């Protein structure tokens, strides 16, 4: 089925001017960028977005990292977009990511791992609604 998923190009990637290269890998995988904006996440944005990780030891650092520079938030559309995006991103830890994936190619470490992608249809809907108005999605 055609799905939509939420994606973030993280501060480690924007800092190294990799937005276009990441987008090319997403598009080459068959995903269409139907919404995209470059923003600076506030502390509140990062804490709300990553609320499920609140009790994890890395939460504080993660919030610092996600607010350390610009991010590009995106909505990707395509056949099985959620799974397809997770496949092209690769494993959270770049040391475990498959050859040719975004994280294997670009990520610096498990935290500065270049991209985020929704892990389920339910979370995709929540994450898209947090950052985008319906009118900003142009399929």
Applying CB under 6 A, the span of 16-24, 105-113, 120-128, 130-138 interacting with ligand CMP comes to 105-113
| 53 is annotated as an active-site residue | no
- How many Cβ atoms are within 10 Å of 107's Cβ, its own excluded? 25
**Binding of residue 84 to ligand CMP (CB under 6 A):** no
Per-residue contact string for residues 35-54; x = within reach of ligand CMP by CB under 6 A: ------------------x-
Asked if residue 111 binds ligand CMP (CB under 6 A), the reply is yes
The reply to whether 118 sits near ligand CMP by the rule CB under 6 A is: no
CA angle 11, 44, 135 (to 5 degrees): 80
H or E segment and range at residue 43: helix 43-49
Cβ proximity to ligand CMP, 34 vs 71, nearer residue: 71
Query: Please, what is the minimum distance in Å from the beta carbon of residue 28 to ligand CMP?
Result: 21
Q: Are strands 2-9 and 32-39 parallel, antiparallel or unpaired?
A: unpaired
Q: Compute CA distances 104 → 23, 54, 88, whole Å.
A: 15, 26, 10
Q: Are 130 and 50 in contact (CB under 8 A)?
A: no
Which residues of this protein are in contact with ligand CMP, per CB under 6 A?
53, 58, 62, 92, 110-111, 113, 116
**Residue ranges at the known binding site for ATP:** 10, 58, 86, 92, 103, 113
């Amino acid at each position: 089925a055609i799905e939509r998923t939420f994606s973030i190009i993280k501060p480690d990637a924007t800092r190294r001017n990799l937005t276009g290269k990441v987008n090319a890998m997403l598009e080459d995988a068959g995903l269409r960028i139907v919404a995209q904006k470059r923003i600076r996440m506030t502390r509140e944005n990062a804490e709300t977005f990553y609320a499920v990780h609140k009790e994890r030891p890395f939460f504080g650092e993660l919030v610092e990292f996600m607010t350390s520079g610009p991010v590009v938030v995106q909505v990707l559309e395509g056949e099985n977009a959620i799974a397809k995006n997770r496949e092209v991103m690769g494993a959270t830890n770049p040391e475990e990511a498959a050859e040719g994936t975004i994280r294997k190619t670009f990520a610096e470490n498990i935290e500065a791992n270049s991209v985020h992608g929704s892990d389920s249809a339910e979370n995709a809907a929540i994450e898209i609604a947090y950052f985008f108005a319906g009118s900003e999605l142009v399929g």
